Structure 1
Amino acid sequence: MAAAGGLHTYQLRLHAEYGPVVRFQLPGVEWAVSVADPVLLEATARLDERPDPLFAFLDPLCEAGNIQVMPAAEHAPWRRLLLSVLAGRPSHERHFARFTALTTELADRWAERAERADREPVGLQKDLTALSLRMICAYALGGEVADPDGVIAAFEEVLTEHLGRLYETPGSDAQEGRAERAVQALAHLRATVDQVVTAHRATDRTGDTDRTGTARTGTARTGTARTDKSDLIGALVAAGERPARIRDTVMMTMLAAHHTTGVAVSWTLYLLGRHPEVAERVADELDRVLGDRAAPDYADLRRLTYLEMTLKEAMRLYPPGPYGARETVEPLRLGDHLIPAGATIFYPIWAVHMNPDYWPQPEKFLPERFAPDEVARRPRLAHIPFGFGPRSCEGAGLAMVEAELVLAVLLKRFRFRPAPGHQVTPIERFVLWAADDIRMNVSRRRPG
């Protein structure tokens, strides 16, 4: 796995050589089975347990027990609570103007940079993950974080250290130095989360404004009543969650939300920079739907069909989460194979998305694959960028709204081209990250 560059690329090699169902060796796991066929995956869709060892790298982020491996009985009500906040379309629409303002601020900074004679390439991941973090904090956590770039850098320090333990022999000097940096980074993250929670409580006490900027009365919260259905911390408090679990949930939400949207948009712009003919078609659609407006309204997203197809194809080629895993609690039949209880079942999302039986010429970037008639021909689990089943991403709907908005604003104003000489290498960092960012030259676009 280390030689392949991580589990995500190792799984691609496994399935290319051995087919859709592969048993492979994994330290500490007796039965590890990877399934890259979307039809066979249907048999696993109800699995609701995760293997503890594979998610142990996230243990340091949690004080009340790793949220990612929460037992099914405990996970189900927690998931329902998150969905009640993150999946509500009315709340997406209510916060859309704030999302637009945050995106426009970034676009304005890029426009200033594009005018400089010595303009440097933009680091897409750095800027877009910071934007995504601001969005989730504005939407669900009660406001802004003081230093989004510092929070993201701290997450990367922690993940680099603890993911690295999956593939490295302990004891090297480099690892010791990295471990010390990870301890400091984790302390910074916990302090930031405490500030977010404390600020949220202060706002609740004063009842001054909600996150849309609208004045609230001092009776906005009485008992378990909540006026803002996108208030995640308020929902956790109302549900009686203990303080440590609230902090854990805020930490994991910040991690997952900034990664998912920022990474998905980064890879999409990277692909559009390499395929200017597709970028031109997206721009033509934006001009047709938006006219002279610089940003869409919430209702406009439904009309930006080619933009949505492009985003989905980008997430096929570069899924934000390159794999997932479940654990069987009883024997499971997968086609001709009988998998015993206690086995680890891998969802190699990247390999599923590159399965040539369902994606002809899978390495090509073709948004037309997501035209309605093409989608109808494929099994439903052929495209699973947010996972599936009872452990799928609770914020998938919110992430799509954010990503489509950000892409619409940026592609209406700019053209993107790869920075000459810059090598883009996908690596595993909880999500499908790029080793040295994705550096692009950004220039103003003239509509029409």
Structure 2
Amino acid sequence: MNIPGPEPRADGGAGAVAAAGGLHTYQLQLHAEYGPVVRFQLPGADVAVSVADPVLLEATAHIDKRPERPFEFLAPLFETGNLQVMPAAEHAPWRRLLLSVLAGRPSHERHFARFTTLATELADRWAGQRDGEPVELQKDLTALSLRMICAYALGGQVADPDAVVAAFEDVLTEHLGQLYHGQERAGRAQDALARLRATVDRVVAAHRSGGRTDRSDLIGTLVEAGEDPARIRDTVMVMMLAAHHTTGVAVSWALHLLGRHPDVAERVADELDRVLGDRSAPGYADLRRLAYLEMVLKESMRLYPPGPYGARETTEALTLGGYEIPAGATIFYPIWAVHMNPAYWPRPDTFLPERFTPEAVAQRPKLAYIPFGFGPRSCEGAGLAMVEAELVLAVLLKRFRFRPAPGHEVVPVERFVLWAADDIRMTVSPRLPEEVPVRARP
């Protein structure tokens, strides 16, 4: 049976993607018109198939190969090969090593106080905004998430963390500029990349001369495992890349939704007051008690997944919903379309955190919600990202109310992550203006 989809175009599909405003919205359109399995054209892929049904996705969950062409733009960041497309045999042990650190409570707990300090510094700065002057959520929160991941990956061993942040932003701006706009700033970016590599090399060297590390230290764990210093450096770089936008963007979209649903925001505030009392920030153990806050974050990532799609390459032929998918095909995971599938998400456009009560979750297929992907190429830092995002939301929502900036339109666009075209501008006001926020307890 032939897979349904649009007629072939002479431009290889590039025009259709551009006309839709990006691949994520194009996939939404394709699935609305052709159903859960769609064949479509994409430059660089001879056969591209998009699958938006969570039950059918189960048959692809074992695939541990990424197509190389879509990830080529990342290759200049690495010296030991593109870590995003490394072969399965090499990827599996590397992934296990990363998960042993990134997914563990010791790692999260060790860095929690520093994360809290960084989030509180941003809240203090926002508290000084002139009345009515909006903040730019994505600009400030992505900068915060980059500072967090620098603190996590490099620890306190960097003399000038702000310089590291600035250098990484130079590198990222060049690569994303080339990807989306054809911009060229190679000289500046290459200098910044050289500075970043030298910085990470110094941290790696310090670990190599030290003693045994614990399970919460990423670089120390990679050193102990005998990883090559260049591979360790590349691992830190890819972590910074993955975490730079995603956590900040997720928090931004959550605040955007809460600003438009003040009843939900009040329920979050009530939970924070009940759990934290007069404290302005949670402790690590408090996060598990902030159940409604977690539901809000998950629902916001359903509506606005930071990474709107993933991709795998079939290593053998398989059958999906009666359709034959050949070996070597690129299978796209249209995360946004999966999250908007009305068969599993009634009224999919509506913001309903209650979708994530334990009872509601149990009624859906496992892969109906995949903000971090799934299978052997899912995000190793998913647990860390949730800790960071919940902490930042708790700090901000304990102190502030957020309202949409008058006259500002928020338009989602594809920029490596699901971005907003002109940022998300909101006004912030103190929740309890008569009280001075109490600093987080150590």
TM-score, scaled to structure 1: 0.88
- Conserved? CA contact 1:85–1:140, under 8 Å: no
Residue 240, structure 1, aligned to residue 250, structure 2:
no
Which residue, out of 130, 138, 147, partners 1:134?
147
Q: Is there any run of 5+ residues in structure 2 with no aligned partner, and where? A: 1-16, 436-442
Which residue, out of 82, 85, 91, partners 2:101?
85
Shift of 1:426: 1.7
Residue 292, structure 1, aligned to residue 266, structure 2:
no
Deviation by residue 1:110-148 (Cα, 9 ceiling, x = unmatched): 1122xx35x531111121112111212222223352236
Shift of 1:149: 5.5
Which residue number corresponds to residue 269 of structure 1? 255
Q: Distance in 2 between matches of 1:252 and 1:100?
A: 23
* SS of aligned partner of 1:437: coil
Which residue, out of 53, 58, 69, partners 1:42?
58
Question: Residues 283 and 148 of structure 1: is their aligned pair in 2 closer, same or farther, counting only changes over 3 Å?
Answer: farther
| Counterpart code for 1:70 | M
| Counterpart code for 1:233 | I
* SS of aligned partner of 2:393: helix
Q: Once structures 1 and 2 are overlaid, which stretch shifts more, 139-148 or 408-417?
A: 139-148
Identity fraction in percent: 74
- Conserved? CA contact 2:65–2:85, under 8 Å: yes
Which residue number corresponds to residue 187 of structure 1? 191
Which residue, out of 301, 320, 329, partners 2:306?
320
Shift of 1:430: 1.9
Q: Distance in 2 between matches of 1:155 and 1:10?
A: 28
Deviation by residue 1:281-308 (Cα, 9 ceiling, x = unmatched): 1101111111111111111111111100
Question: Residues 439 and 159 of structure 1: is their aligned pair in 2 closer, same or farther, counting only changes over 3 Å?
Answer: farther
- Conserved? CA contact 1:130–1:148, under 8 Å: no
- Conserved? CA contact 2:168–2:192, under 8 Å: no
- Conserved? CA contact 2:167–2:195, under 8 Å: no
Residue 226, structure 1, aligned to residue 230, structure 2:
no
Q: Distance in 1 between matches of 2:368 and 2:350?
A: 16
Residue 26, structure 1, aligned to residue 39, structure 2:
no
Residue 58, structure 1, aligned to residue 84, structure 2:
no
Q: Distance in 2 between matches of 1:435 and 1:304?
A: 31
Shift of 1:182: 4.6
| Counterpart code for 1:232 | L
Shift of 1:418: 1.2
Which residue number corresponds to residue 446 of structure 1? 432
Q: Distance in 2 between matches of 1:428 and 1:241?
A: 35
Question: Residues 156 and 437 of structure 1: is their aligned pair in 2 closer, same or farther, counting only changes over 3 Å?
Answer: farther
Q: Distance in 1 between matches of 2:402 and 2:74?
A: 35
Q: Is there any run of 5+ residues in structure 1 with no aligned partner, and where? A: 165-173, 206-219
- Conserved? CA contact 1:309–1:370, under 8 Å: yes
Residue 150, structure 1, aligned to residue 150, structure 2:
no
Shift of 1:105: 1.2
* SS of aligned partner of 1:2: helix
Which residue number corresponds to residue 412 of structure 1? 398
Shift of 1:156: 4.2
Question: Residues 226 and 385 of structure 1: is their aligned pair in 2 closer, same or farther, counting only changes over 3 Å?
Answer: same
Q: Distance in 2 between matches of 1:425 and 1:189?
A: 32
Q: Distance in 1 between matches of 2:62 and 2:258?
A: 36
Which residue number corresponds to residue 297 of structure 2? 311
Question: Residues 193 and 124 of structure 1: is their aligned pair in 2 closer, same or farther, counting only changes over 3 Å?
Answer: farther
Q: Distance in 2 between matches of 1:430 and 1:272?
A: 24
Which residue number corresponds to residue 210 of structure 1? none
Deviation by residue 1:181-232 (Cα, 9 ceiling, x = unmatched): 2552243134124213314534775xxxxxxxxxxxxxx51xxx313x2322
Q: Once structures 1 and 2 are overlaid, which stretch shifts more, 142-151 or 252-261?
A: 142-151
Shift of 1:4: 1.1
Shift of 1:244: 2.6
Question: Residues 151 and 443 of structure 1: is their aligned pair in 2 closer, same or farther, counting only changes over 3 Å?
Answer: farther
Question: Residues 6 and 261 of structure 1: is their aligned pair in 2 closer, same or farther, counting only changes over 3 Å?
Answer: same
Which residue number corresponds to residue 169 of structure 1? none
- Conserved? CA contact 1:163–1:429, under 8 Å: no
* SS of aligned partner of 1:433: strand
* SS of aligned partner of 2:429: strand
Residue 112, structure 1, aligned to residue 128, structure 2:
yes
- Conserved? CA contact 1:59–1:65, under 8 Å: yes
Question: Residues 35 and 191 of structure 1: is their aligned pair in 2 closer, same or farther, counting only changes over 3 Å?
Answer: same
Count of residue pairs the alignment pairs up: 415
- Conserved? CA contact 1:133–1:148, under 8 Å: no
- Conserved? CA contact 1:86–1:395, under 8 Å: yes
- Conserved? CA contact 2:204–2:229, under 8 Å: no
| Counterpart code for 2:404 | P
| Counterpart code for 1:346 | F
Q: Distance in 2 between matches of 1:370 and 1:158?
A: 38
Q: Distance in 2 between matches of 1:419 and 1:57?
A: 35
- Conserved? CA contact 2:136–2:424, under 8 Å: yes
- Conserved? CA contact 1:34–1:346, under 8 Å: yes
- Conserved? CA contact 1:40–1:334, under 8 Å: yes
Matches within 5 A, 1:389-428: 389-428=375-414
Q: Distance in 2 between matches of 1:197 and 1:270?
A: 39
Matches within 5 A, 1:373-392: 373-392=359-378
Question: Residues 364 and 396 of structure 1: is their aligned pair in 2 closer, same or farther, counting only changes over 3 Å?
Answer: same
Q: Distance in 1 between matches of 2:204 and 2:145?
A: 19
Which residue number corresponds to residue 440 of structure 2? none
TM-score, scaled to structure 2: 0.90
Shift of 1:274: 1.3
* SS of aligned partner of 2:122: helix
